[in-house]
Amino acid sequence: MTELYKQLKQFGQVKLNEPMSKHTTFKIGGKAEFFVAVEQTEQLVELLKFLDEEGIDRFILGGGSNMLFGDDDYSGVIIQIKTKETRVTDTGIIADAGCSTVAIANLSMKEAFIGFEWGVGVPGTIGGAVRGNAGAMGWEMQNNVESVDAYIDGEVVHLSNGECEFHYRHSIFKENGGVVLRVHLKLEKSENKDGMKKALEYLQYRSRTQPQGYASTGCIFKNFEIKDPETLQFELPEEFVQKGKISAGWLIDKAGMKNAQVGKAKVSETHGNFVVNMGSATSTDVLKLIEQIKEKVYDRFGIYIEEEIQIV
């Protein structure tokens, strides 16, 4: 048993050589040398300070629903954020980063708030959702976040919505490596019960349009943002022009990649932007498939699509 193992035990539950396939919705990934599940924000901050001072490599894991771990083992410490405290106020909800986004969406409806029903179908943690400015049904985290407590460069800081620098699937935390500790959501109260109805419709829409019964990591690519429509040499559905974005799933379908397969990784029949694990896919299979998709989309449309998922 190493010295580090003993030190890590002060902060949470520690496992050695933990398969990352057990902690990702894709069910892919080699083993983590050290895996620490942390349940208290104070312990999380202490752990981050300790590792940073010691110069030990670390990686933050939320729900593992937007990432692809490599097949090789990870040498360093994976920190799984499992902090779960919530506080309901008159103007919204304050939630620890480890709370599930679905649980917070459900809590918001129970407390008669409106505006966060869309979170009901988004897997993973609210901290991960803030970092990636997750969104669905025309909403994004930036519409609901009032402020964020975060650990940045050894300090705990409080950032306003503006300071989070949200834009499409992006926040400042992607740039500065900050760790989201707690999220303050600003929500409106409403007496009508439309929230539940909407949430149900959102879930039904998902089950119709997303693959069911296979491990995946959600959308692999970001939708393509149209910056200069003049440069596009192909005809676009009006819907995309109005939204200012071309659906990556549409591009992948039109590039003839629906159902494309490498090893056990396959582009979903139901949704072109989902790659599904047919049982024993490796990270190498998925990466090869991602490269093939990018190449075919470029060959057909002359544009590059970028990954939304985090590749480790």
Ligand X SMILES: Cc1cc2nc3c(=O)[nH]c(=O)nc-3n(C[C@H](O)[C@H](O)[C@H](O)COP(=O)(O)OP(=O)(O)OC[C@H]3O[C@@H](n4cnc5c(N)ncnc54)[C@H](O)[C@@H]3O)c2cc1C
Residues at the site binding ligand X, with contacts judged by CB under 6 A: 25, 59-67, 81, 97, 122-125, 127-129, 131-132, 134-136, 173, 179-180, 210, 216-218, 310
CB 31 within 8 Å of CB 70: no
DSSP-assigned states of every residue in 186-226: E-EE-SS-HHHHHHHHHHHHHHHHS--SSEEEEESBPPEE-
Catalytic status, residue 131? no
Q: For residues 168 and 246, is the Cβ–Cβ distance under 8 A?
A: no
Output the smallest distance, CB 223 to ligand X, in A: 11
Residue number with CB closer to ligand X (125 or 282): 125
Q: How far apart are CA 99 and CA 82, in angstroms?
A: 7
Annotated catalytic residue, options 33, 99, 117, 169:
169
d(CA 285, CA 110): 42
Nearest CB to ligand X, comparing residues 232 and 310: 310
- Residue closer to ligand X by CB (options 25, 86) is 25
| CB of 231 vs ligand X, minimal distance in Å | 27
DSSP letter at 263 equals: T
Nearer to ligand X, 25 or 106 (CB): 25
CB of 30 to ligand X, least distance (A): 16
Q: Kindly compute the dihedral angle of the four CA atoms of residues 45, 49, 55, 61, in this order, to the nearest 10 degrees.
A: 0
Cα–Cα distance for residue pair 169/142, rounded to 1 Å: 10
Instruction: State how far the Cα of 251 lies from the Cα of 225, in Å rounded to an integer.
Output: 12
What is the bridge-based pairing of β-strands 113-114 and 13-19? unpaired
* Residue (23 or 301) nearer to ligand X, CB: 23
Q: Which of 18, 117, 140, 308 is catalytic?
A: 308
Identity of residue 312: V
Active site residue 308: yes
Active-site residue (options: 219, 225, 235, 306): 219
Nearer to ligand X, 127 or 301 (CB): 127
Least distance (Å) between residue 51 CB and ligand X: 14
- Dist. CA 99–CA 182, nearest whole Å: 9
Shortest gap between Cβ of 190 and ligand X (angstroms)?
23
Task: Enumerate the β-bridge partners of residue 29.
Answer: none
CB-based contact 44:84 (threshold 8 Å): no
CB of 151 to ligand X, least distance (A): 8
In the bound state, the residue with its beta carbon closest to ligand X is 62
Which residues participate in catalysis according to the annotation? Answer: 169, 219, 308
